[in-house]
Every structure is written in structure tokens, then in C-alpha cells.
Chain A
Amino acid sequence: MSHISSYQADIKLQTALEQGKSVEQDPGWEILNEAVWACAEEMNLDVGHSIRDYYGRLVYCDWSLAGPAFDRGIGIRVNRDTGDVMFICDSYGGYERIAGEIKEKVIQNYIALCVTRALSSLNYEVEVEEVKHPVEGKKVLVKGVL
């Protein structure tokens, strides 16, 4: 028999923590870095390590993404004790849409990278394709054949 499953995804970097290592040594850390840079390239944003709030105060984070139309930026911070991944942004003043768009794009990239790597590690031959949907936005198709 074959089937179709649907899932809702969440990011939590716990593998290294469970082995007594630091979260920076988690396999997901490098994947998250890759997902952030892919988003930066796709949306023409700069990658850094700080964002600014409404008052211009600097807030440090593990990664930040900002651009000319969104100079405050959105930050990503990984909790060193739990591995929880948090997106931080002061979206006051009409930045909710762009901040949400960047966040979802980073997560989508992360999921696509994880699925690709997971299938490869299970010995599948993997192909990746991106499809632009007029209503639902970008979709990433990952196909693995044994």
C-alpha cells in the first residue's frame, strides 16, 4: 500500500543538546545558516547579527536579515538550553507583512533542505524543484527515488 501524509513543521535544534554538546554543533545549525543565506539571496537582503527596534536600539541575535525596505530587520535566535528557534522583530509601523514573509521563507528553505538531506541519507536519489503558485506562493517539490 502507499499513502499520502500531511504534516505541520516546527524547528527545534535538540540533537546536539541531547548528546551534551552545544546547540551550535547541532546538524540543524548549519542547515539554518544555509536557509538564512538562501532567503537573503532570494529576497536581496543582508545577513548580520543584530536588528533594531522602533527606537533604534540594537538587539543581538544569531542571524538577522534586513534590507533597504526593511532596515530594522528580523532576527533569529536559538535558545541555548532548549534549542527552540525564535524569530524576533519589532514590526510596529507596518512591518508585519514583510517580517512574516521573511520568516516563512526561512522556514520553507529549512524544511526543503532537511527533507532533501533526510531522503539522501535514506539512500534516495533526490531531485528538487521550485514551483511558483499564484495564490499559495512558492512551493518546493522534493522527489526521492529508491
Chain B
Amino acid sequence: MARSVRAEIGARREIKVEFSGFPGESCFDEAERLKEVLKELGLWAIPVTVTPKTSSEIAREIGEEIAEKKKVLHS
């Protein structure tokens, strides 16, 4: 599964970042890397909440991936 980061930037300085497809705990390392690069650019991202995805959410992501792969094989 491809690793992806989806950031939603709201109108009141809030940023929601979703990390998908990272194995193990590596999504937390990636979040730290992103935070460091942002700080170098002058953007200080102060963490408000961190919510690990549930196993069903992860399964759904993987499931979608499998479904997409199947579709490609049949076409």
C-alpha cells in the first residue's frame, strides 16, 4: 500500500493530518519529520490531538487497495 499524507488546512489555523499506509509506528516518525521541516519553513505546528486509526479503518484502507488491484487485473 502506498504511503500517503493528507493535510486539511482550516480557516482558523487548524491543520488535520492523516497518515496512511505506514507500517508499524513509522507514521509517528514521519509526523516528527514533517513537523521539523515545517518549523524550518517558519510554521510551528503545535499538536492538539493524536488519534491512532482503528483496526477496522486500517483494514478498510488495505481492503480498498486490494479491490483497486483486483480491478486493474481484470481490465
Q: Which residues of A pack against B, CB within 8 Å?
A: 1-15, 26-28, 31-32, 83, 85, 104-105, 107-108, 110-112, 114-115, 117-119, 121-122, 124, 136-146
Contact = CB atoms under 8 A, between A and B. Distances in A.
B9 A145 contact: no
- Residue from B20, B42, B53 with most neighbouring chain A CB atoms (10 Å): B42
Interface of B: 2-25, 27-28, 30-31, 33-34, 37-53, 57-58, 61
Is the contact region of chain A dominated by helix, strand, or loop, or is it mixed?
A: mixed
B25 A1 contact: yes
Nearest to B24: A1
Contacts of B6: 141-144
B45 A9 contact: yes
B13 A107 contact: yes
Nearest to B52: A3
Given A2-B27, A11-B43, A142-B6, A122 B20 contact: no
Given A2-B19, A3-B50, A118-B34, A140 B9 contact: yes
Contact of B38 (A13, A26, A115, A143): A115
Most chain A CB within 10 A, of B7, B19, B20, is at B7
A12 B52 contact: no
Contacts of A8: 13-15, 45-46, 48
The 10 A-B pairs at the shortest CB distance, nearest first, are namely: A28-B42, A137-B11, A7-B45, A118-B37, A114-B43, A140-B9, A146-B3, A13-B42, A10-B44, A142-B7
Contact of B4 (A14, A114, A136, A146): A146
Given A8-B46, A9-B15, A145-B2, 12 more contacts: A2-B18, A5-B16, A5-B17, A7-B48, A8-B48, A9-B13, A10-B13, A11-B42, A108-B9, A111-B9, A114-B38, A124-B4
